[in-house]
Amino acid sequence: MILEMYWLYYLIFLWSILSFLVMKYVHISNCIKYYLAINYIPLAFILAYRAPSVGADTWAYIEAFNYLSVTPIDGFFVESFECGYVLLNKLVYVLGGNGVDVIKIVAILSVSLLAGFFYKYSKSVVLSTVIFIGFGMMFPMMNLIRQVLAAVIVLWAMGKLSENKRTWSVILIFLASTIHVTVFPFIVFVILHPLNVKKILLAVTLGIMLVCVIEANGLFFLLDFSLLNESKYISYIGSEFDVSKEYGALVICALFCFCLFASGCYKYIYKSSNEQLLAISTLAMYISAIVILLGYKVDILGRFIYPYFLYLCILLPAFCNLKHGIGKVCVYVIVVVAAFVYFTKSLGVLRDGYIYNLGI
């Protein structure tokens, strides 16, 4: 039944694996560039030309264009939209476009920036792609379009930070924050740079204190619904985020992130502090685990995991590349199988709104 409903997503996942194997078999030169082209161009097309019914927020963003394009910018926010996203809508309006064009532009930008980042910074472009698709990070591109674009821009900010280009990093973080303000906390990585054991322990201690505060007060006071647009966010409670908790899936995910954090601390921070992007990815795994667990207290936090969990696409391939020969092949196979299982489970809790249709 799942295969009948979501066959296109399975095809995307399987193609990300088979296309590489075929190219390696026929010994194509510039294999990685061709791999990126034949995987990410179709992905951009699929996202850009999806029907408004695909993704709960797609139609809402299309409708939002009608007033964002003509509403004056007042401060940092305009009707719950950050100024950068508002400016994008206004620019499209000036050029004669519409809300559908905004969806297309965001899709193409997000996919292009992601592919470029993997090409420049990943230890394995293929494995990063398989992880990105298999561990469910593709699906938010059809729904949380502003947050995904902001998260991908922040990826580049962290890449620049790992090259000690602080100014570029800060600029990109501020740019991303004008698309979705929830990525602004990444400025802390700039403050902590370069990461080392002491700074990581400080971040861990603060994380533990945060958990204790939330546990003691019941509901995190900064995320009290009295401070939010209740009509907008209350609908998220009882969504698939809650459904998945019934099976303990998020607990397993949090433990997985904790394990990667512990391993990354030893390998990339304690033993070789020059691997700054991997150190950043390590800390991002810890933050992912904390946010996942806090989601059991504050459900809305489930929507804020994405910018941190995305660094799994960088850290896990780096771990896999520590092996050589047959050991490396075995590790790759294990990761691919795990991604397939996770992918299938993810499809099992998706709503009907994710059944794909062409339309825009």
Q: Are 39 and 129 in contact (CB under 8 A)?
A: yes
> How far, in Å, CA of 294 to CA of 219, rounded?
10
**Adjacent-strand bridge partners of 81:** 78
CA dihedral defined by 33, 12, 349, 131, rounded to 10 degrees? -30
Closest by Cα among 174, 68, 81, 153 to 110: 153
End-to-end Cα separation, the chain, in angstroms:
26
Can you give the pLDDT at residue 241?
42
Closest by Cα among 270, 271, 305, 281 to 159: 281
> How far, in Å, CA of 144 to CA of 46, rounded?
16
pTM value is: 0.86
Residues of the chain with pLDDT under 50: 218-248
Neighbours of 325 (CB within 10 A): 7
Can you give the pLDDT at residue 298?
66
Residue 247 CA: distances (Å) to CA of 253, 338, 340, 345, 351: 12, 17, 18, 11, 17
Question: Domain boundaries in the chain?
Answer: 1-184+353-360, 194-322
Can you give the pLDDT at residue 347?
80
Can you give the pLDDT at residue 119?
94
Residue in the structure block whose two tokens are 């780096």: 318
- Tokens (6 digits) for 327: 């050991």
Can you give the pLDDT at residue 303?
72
Q: Dihedrals φ, ψ of 77, to 5°? A: -115, 150
